Every structure is written in C-alpha cells, then in structure tokens.
Amino acid sequence: MTGTRVIVGVDGSTNSRSALTWAAHEASLRGVPLLIVHSRFRPAYDPIFAGGFYLPPVAAEGNEIDEVLRVSSEMAQQVEPELEVETTARPGPAALALLDAASEGGGLVVVGSRGLGAFGAVFLGSVSVQLAAQSPVPVVVVPAETTFSTVGPVVVGIDGSPASNVALVEAANEATRRHSPLDIVVAYTIPADPLVTSLTPSIDEFRTAFRIRAQEAAAAAAENARRVSQTLAVRAQVLEGPPAREIARAAVAASLVVVGSRGYGEFRGPVLGSVSQTILRHAKWPVLVTHSH
C-alpha cells in the first residue's frame, strides 16, 4: 500500500456511509485509489444510558469486519465504477487505525462527524476531533447526509498565519479540481476593552487599523491563490466579527470549507484551535482541516 490515496474510515453507521460516498467522489476527482479502513475495535456502551455512558472498546468479530468492508467496497464502486478500491482492517481504536493508514502514503483522510456510539448532535465525534488535530495529512470531516458537490464555492478562512497559508493553498487546489470559485474570508474582531491611556488610539482608529491589516492579508492571499491556478476565480471578503461565525455565514452555499488546524493566538499542541473546533462542531458542509507541519 504505497503512494498517495484517499483514506476513509467506516464503521457501518449512516454517518460513515455519507463519508464513504464523499470520499469515493473525491478520490475519483483526484485520480487516486480509495483505501477503506475499518477498526477491529468498536465502542461499547451501556444501553440503559442510551449511549451516554461508555465502556472500553471491544474487539469486533471477524465476520462483522468482513461484512462492513465488503458492503463499503461495493458501495464505493457503485458510486464511482472506475475507482480503484482497497480495504483494510486495522487493530486498535478507529482514530489510531486511520492515523497509521495516513502515515503510510495517504494524501487525505475522510471521516464522518460522528459514528457508532456518538451521543448528542452538539458534540463532535471523538474520532473526527483526534484526526483533525493530529493527522499528518489533511482531514475532511463530513456531516451526516452530506452529498458531494462541485457546484458551490470552496471557502477558506485565513488570518495570515502559517497554518492558514497552508489552508489557502489546499483550498486553491480543491477549487481548481472542482472548477469552482475560491472564496477567501478574512475576519477580524476589535478588542472589547483596549487599555486606555492618553496615547491610546480611539475605537475608530482601532477599527481602521484592523480593517487595513485584514484587507492587506486578503489581497496577499488572493494573489497567492492565483499562483496555484491562473484560471481560478478568486473572491476575497473582509468581515468584522468572530472568525468562526463569519466563515460560517460566508459558507452558506459552499461545497467545501477549508480551515487551518490553528492560527495566530492559539497555543501549540495536539489540539485544534478554537476557530476550527467551532467550525467543525456546527458545520453543515464538509470541512477540510489542514496542518502546517
């Protein structure tokens, strides 16, 4: 199993089937094989608490694994008949199984926003959170019942940080593959309580300075995106407001939203930044999370 491929995690849930369909289309669009990964472990829960109380994962039966992989492979080939499809069952929890597969030649990992055992729509599944934070390659988190589309624009949120610059290039590549416009969103917020001294600028001066900085970042991002493809239609928006909220508003008709794993002001470590977490938690569209490493 060498070379770049799209990797998708399946567990037999409805959400993982949506991710599988999305991943099959994406692999076909990229012209690469699809690798379907199923973990040999599945979550256990106490039915009395309706999934709200979790027990340690238990090993799945061999027949169950074979059936999930067989059905998943058939579904992928029905979606994209010419697609090369591979399957594998990996030991260990699902997130670790997918991380291992990604480190062996993956170009993209696709996973549902939540799978078997996930409890409450307000919570993002633990597998998708861990993958989005730690994967060595970009990760797409697909909400339930999401269909693959190339009609809407690809929307990317940037702030000029190294992580957002990586997201910009990935978004430009995705938009180019889809022949879709690229919408760049630069959102900024004004400090609520700036330190007041005789030398402190007024709120209007703060707002003007932040807007100018955002406009400069948007112009530089648009120029960098056009270097990826001279035929790419690039649109840039500068918006005042919380970045996650403004990106979500700009993405109403998006086919894909791209964010960096973290940007300026967010501490480093094996966790997602606040903006990417919020986007993932409330997304109604597939979200691609890139990593600066």
Partners of residue 237 on adjacent β-strands: 185
Task: Give the pLDDT score at 109.
Answer: 95
pLDDT digits (tens, 9 = 90+) for 168-187: 999 999 999 999 999 999 99
* Three-class secondary structure of residue 255 per DSSP: coil
* Segment 54-98, tens digit of pLDDT: 444 444 555 667 888 999 999 999 999 999 999 999 887 888 889
Q: Which tens digit of pLDDT belongs to each residue from 118-134?
A: 333 333 456 787 888 88
Is residue 45 one of the residues assigned to a domain? Answer: yes
Task: Indicate if 138 and 158 belong to the same structural domain.
Answer: no
pLDDT confidence tier of residue 193, bands split at 50, 70 and 90: low
- Tally of CB atoms within 10 A around 247: 30
Confidence check: pLDDT of 41 > 70:
no
The reply to whether 246 and 190 lie within a common domain is yes
The more confident residue out of 165 and 128 is 165
Within a domain: residue 209? Answer: yes
Beta pairing class for 41-45 and 54-59 = antiparallel
pLDDT number for residue 195 = 58
Question: How many domains is the chain partitioned into structurally?
Answer: 2
- Residue-wise pLDDT for 215-248, tens only, equals 999 999 999 999 999 999 999 999 999 999 999 9
Work out the mean pLDDT of the chain and round it to a whole number.
82
Answer whether residue 237 is part of any domain: yes
- Domain of 37 in residue numbering reads as 5-142
The pTM is what?
0.83
Looking at the fold, whether 170 and 211 belong to one and the same domain comes out as yes
Same domain, 138 and 172: no
Does residue 200 share a domain with residue 131? no
- Are residues 165 and 135 both part of a single domain? no
Return the CATH number at 201.
3.40.50.620
Phi, psi of 148 (to 5 degrees): -75, 135
Residues 171 and 118 in one domain: no
Q: Is residue 147 part of a domain?
A: no
% of the chain residues with pLDDT over 90: 51
Residues 213 and 97 in one domain: no
Average pLDDT of span 10-16: 84
Residues 205 and 232 in one domain: yes
Residue 53 within a domain: yes
163 belongs to a structural domain: yes
State the residue for tokens 């919020």: 278
Same domain, 193 and 82: no
Q: Are residues 280 and 171 in the same domain?
A: yes
Q: Is residue 129 part of a domain?
A: yes
pLDDT tens across 255-274, in order? Answer: 999 998 865 544 344 445 67
